[in-house]
Amino acid sequence: MKELLVVVDMQKDFVDGALGTKEAQGIVENVVKKVKKAKECGKDIIFTLDTHHQDYLLTQEGRNLPVAHCIKGTLGWELIPKLQELSEGCQVLEKPVFGSTALAHMAVRNGYEAIELVGLCTDICVISNALILKSSLPEAKICVDASCCAGVTPKSHENALEAMKMCQIMVVE
């Protein structure tokens, strides 16, 4: 079975930077363990990077979330230090929006039968990418590890997990 692990936006700004939360900080060790295990098992791994530019506050997202974050080339844009070395040899995909159609196209092209998502934020980028992947590969097993995800708030994290379950995305703890 061809398997993929997608590590969504585990960047400094989402963990302990401009939009960081204690919940995001609390999943770091789980994500590190998940990535190490995936590497040991020979799974393909893609790291996504939320990527904005200096004009972020002028974009639609910036007008709705007026907190500059993940500006390309800044420290906040980078993967957290504990994942930087683990990302070596893996594909890194910059995405300017919540969900990446480029990620879905890559997944279809490579014929993945099982895709697991972890990372941040459950209620924005994780759910967006899970739904795009499910739409693009309806027969693939799409899974989200809740212990390796955090939302903007604990309540919105739980809401996103419930929404994904309703869309036949498997949620594991």
State the pLDDT at residue 66.
97
Mean per-residue pLDDT of the chain: 98
Say how many domains are in the chain. 1
Question: The whole model's pTM is what?
Answer: 0.98
The SS3 assignment for 21 reads coil
Q: Which domain holds residue 128?
A: 3-172
pLDDT band with cut points at 50, 70 and 90 for residue 160: very high
**CATH no. for residue 97?**
3.40.50.850
Distance CA 100, CA 119 (A): 14
Cα four-point dihedral sign 7, 13, 17, 19: negative
State the pLDDT at residue 129.
98
